[in-house]
């Protein structure tokens, strides 16, 4: 049977997904507590070692960040915001591959999204789905709700759009739906931290 003319778009989509997974893997890190009791994921936000993740995966002042081929490094907690469930870590590294940051406001119900993370400790697992709804507050995206299979360990990892740009940080599973904090919120968080000084959210572990 000649398959040459069948499934061209589907096969191409599969190849592109493979490429996207490689891209997203290159800026997704694993975050572990010393002692290995808790695990989550994170996103390399800047090539100088700045990493964004969820506050709820950070349990001590010196979490371990696993960068894949680049090894495992001690990280410093730069800022922690329990309310927004965001944390900023820094590792002593340079020339890391930073994630391209996308525009969460461009997402619509039905837009394709991918998540990468370490669900239940499985390294670099990818899931594919669509945006279920984007909830808003004061006209700004509040949460990206996705029809997408997530599990504990995806927390802090990237939700990316069909071009591989990070549109959110996966933070919760509610009623089987993935809930991510939109990139607009991460941007604002970083902006606030940089304006007020890195330690203004200090004593983070007391929070």
How far, rounded to the nearest angstrom, does the alpha carbon of residue 37 sit from its chain's CA centroid?
Answer: 20
Question: Using the rule CB under 8 A, is 84 a contact of another protein?
Answer: no
Considering the complex, what minimum distance in angstroms separates the CB of residue 174 from another protein? 10
Q: Which segment (7-15, 28-36, 115-123, 150-158) binds another protein by CB under 8 A? A: 7-15
Q: Name which of 19 and 121 has its Cβ closer to another protein.
A: 19
Distance, in Å, from the CA atom of 204 to the CA atom of 123, rounded to the nearest integer, reads: 28
Positive or negative torsion for Cα 169, 177, 133, 84:
negative
Using CA atoms, how far residue 106 sits from 10, 102, 112, 127, in Å, is 24, 9, 12, 20
Question: Using the rule CB under 8 A, is 9 a contact of another protein?
Answer: yes
Interface mask toward another protein for 45-64; x: CB under 8 A:
xxx--x--------------
Interface with another protein in residues 90-149 (CB under 8 A): 97-101, 108-112, 129-133, 145, 147
Return the active site residues: 56, 85, 155
- Contact between 77 and 89 (Cβ < 8 Å): yes
**For the chain, how big is the Rg over CA atoms in Å?**
17
Q: Which of residues 20, 29, 64, 115 is near another protein by CB under 8 A?
A: 20
């Amino acid at each position: 049977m000649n398959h040459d003319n069948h499934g061209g778009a589907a096969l191409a989509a599969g190849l592109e997904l493979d490429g996207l997974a490689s891209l997203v893997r290159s800026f997704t890190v694993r975050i572990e507590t010393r002692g290995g009791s808790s695990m989550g994921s994170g996103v390399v936000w800047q090539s100088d070692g700045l990493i964004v993740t969820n506050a709820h995966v950070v349990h001590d002042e010196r979490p371990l960040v696993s960068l894949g081929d680049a090894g495992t490094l001690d990280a410093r907690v730069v800022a922690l915001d329990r309310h927004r469930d965001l944390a900023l870590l820094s590792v002593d590294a340079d020339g890391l591959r930073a994630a391209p940051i996308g525009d969460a406001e461009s997402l619509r119900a039905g837009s394709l999204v991918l998540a990468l993370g370490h669900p239940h400790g499985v390294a670099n697992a990818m899931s594919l789905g669509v945006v279920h709804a984007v909830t808003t507050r004061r006209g700004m995206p509040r949460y990206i709700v996705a029809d997408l299979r997530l599990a504990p360990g995806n927390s802090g990892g990237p939700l990316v759009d069909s071009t591989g740009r990070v549109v959110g940080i996966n933070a919760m599973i509610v009623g089987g739906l993935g809930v991510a904090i939109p990139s607009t919120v991460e941007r604002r968080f970083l902006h606030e931290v940089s304006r007020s000084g890195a330690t203004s959210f200090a004593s983070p572990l007391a929070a």
